[in-house]
Amino acid sequence: MKAVNDRCMALCSQIKQLQQESRDFQDEITEIQKKRLEMKRLTHEKMKEMDELMSKTGNPDTGKYKAVLEKGQANLEKYKKMTVMTQNVLRGILLACKINWLDDPKLRDIVMTLEEIPISD
């Protein structure tokens, strides 16, 4: 009976020891999770700071490029209008002269090229 009692006491103390180790491991896991969340928060803050710095330093250049881009767009529109006008004048000349452009290979190529160039947006 004493042997059974001693064995039971040994098992109980071993259970207590294992429970304590389990609690210690759980505490370590909790601490690691807290550290991980803190690192994640710090990473997000640093990324925000980097984005803000990039946007601050990028703005002056963006203004320059925007102005150049707008000027380029205006030039493109101007030349598109000139091209459309030239196409229309050439078409008008061909129609007014009543030239049979299908018989002349050079005129046929010019007229077919006019069809390929878009007239307007």
Whether the Cβ atoms of residue 101 and residue 111 lie closer than 8 Å to each other: yes
Over residues 59-83, mean pLDDT? 82
Q: Can you tell me the distance from the alpha carbon of 27 to that of 34, in angstroms, rounded to the nearest whole number?
A: 11
Dig out the tokens for 49 from the structure. 């700071």
Q: Is the confidence at residue 91, as pLDDT, over 90?
A: no
Phi, psi of 66 (to 5 degrees): -65, -40
Q: Can you tell me the distance from the alpha carbon of 29 to that of 18, in angstroms, rounded to the nearest whole number?
A: 16
| pTM score over 0.75 | no
Q: What is the pLDDT of residue 119?
A: 53
Q: Can you tell me the distance from the alpha carbon of 90 to that of 96, in angstroms, rounded to the nearest whole number?
A: 10
Dig out the tokens for 74 from the structure. 């205006």
Q: What is the pLDDT of residue 109?
A: 79
**Residue labelled with tokens 């071993």:** 14
Dig out the tokens for 8 from the structure. 């039971």
